[in-house]
Chains A and B, each alone.
Chain A
Amino acid sequence: MTDISMHLNTEEIELWAQGLLPAARAMHLADCSLCRVEAERERKVILELVQLPKFAPNPGFADRVMAQVKIPTASGGWEQH
C-alpha cells in the first residue's frame, strides 16, 4: 500500500488527470503544493495525448496484405492467396 505522505508518481498523476485517483492519494494531493504544481503541469499534455485520434490505412490494405500471405495446405505445401 502506498504511504499517503509520499509524492504522486507518474502513474498516479495520469490517474488524477483522468479523474481516477483514489481518494487516499487525492488527500495527499490536496495537502501537497509540490504535487499539485507537478500534476497541473502534466494535466494538459496528458489530456492532449489521450485525445489523439487513431488512424487507419487506406482502403484495400487488407487485400494487399492477404495477397502476400502463404496458407499451409493439407498436403504440406503452401497456398498463396
Chain B
Amino acid sequence: MFSLLYRMVRDRALAEDLAQETFIKVLNGIKSYKPEFKFSSWIFKIANNAAIDHLRRKSIDTLSLDGAPNAETPDQMRATSLQLGDRAESPLDEVESRELGTAIERAIARLRPEYRSCILLRHVEGYSYEEIAETLDLPLGTVKTYIHRARNELRGYLDDRRE
C-alpha cells in the first residue's frame, strides 16, 4: 500500500502521511468494514482515495513532467511543469531520486492518476482486473481500457526516451 501511495505522490514523507491517514481510518473505522469485501481491497480503496484527494487538492492531478493538463502553449507548459532538480537536494530527495528516477518510474509519473492506480494495482500488487474494478469502484471494462491505454502511453514514453 505504501508503494502505491509513494508512486502516486512521488514524495516519501507525504506518502507516509497518507499511509498513516489510511491506517488510522482503517483501524478507527473497522466496524464499517463489510466482510464480503476483500480486506486488502478495502485498505487500497481508502489509500487510493487519499492519494487522489491529495492530488486534486493540490491541483497537480497528473504530476506531469510536461506541465498542467490544461496548459496549451509551450510557456504555460514550462510554467506548470514539474521541475526536477530545481531545488537544493536533501538526503530524502536523493533517496526519492534513486528510488523513482528510473525511466519506467518517470513514465508512470506521467500517467493520469486513474491510469496510474490501475497499472500499479495490476502489475505491482498483482491484483486481478476484477479486484481492481472492485477496489476502485470502476466497471470492469473501464479497468481493462485504462490498463491498455496506460501501457500504450508507457510504451510511448519509453520509446521517446530511446530515440
A interface vs B, CB < 8 Å? 9-11, 41-42, 44-46, 48-50, 52-58, 61, 64-65, 68-70
Q: Are the C-beta atoms of A69 and B123 separated by less than 8 Å?
A: no
Q: Are the C-beta atoms of A45 and B158 separated by less than 8 Å?
A: yes
| CA A44 to CA B157, docked complex, whole Å | 13
Stretch at the interface among B16-24, B55-63, B71-79: B16-24
Q: Are the C-beta atoms of A41 and B16 separated by less than 8 Å?
A: no
Nearest-CB distance from A67 to chain B (Å)? Answer: 10
- Contact pick for A52, options B124, B144, B151, CB 8 Å: B124
| CA A61 to CA B119, docked complex, whole Å | 26
B interface vs A, CB < 8 Å? 2-3, 6, 12, 15-16, 19-20, 23-24, 27-28, 99, 104-105, 119, 122-124, 129, 144, 147-148, 151, 154-155, 158
Closest to A11 in B: B129
Q: Are the C-beta atoms of A61 and B104 separated by less than 8 Å?
A: no
| CA A57 to CA B12, docked complex, whole Å | 8
A9 cross-chain contacts in B, Cβ below 8 A: 144
Nearest-CB distance from A22 to chain B (Å)? Answer: 17
Q: Are the C-beta atoms of B123 and A52 separated by less than 8 Å?
A: yes
Given contacts A10-B144, A10-B148, A11-B129, contact A61 B20 (CB under 8 A): yes
| CA A42 to CA B156, docked complex, whole Å | 11
Q: Are the C-beta atoms of A50 and B123 separated by less than 8 Å?
A: yes
Q: Are the C-beta atoms of B154 and A64 separated by less than 8 Å?
A: no
Given contacts A41-B155, A52-B104, A55-B99, contact A46 B24 (CB under 8 A): no
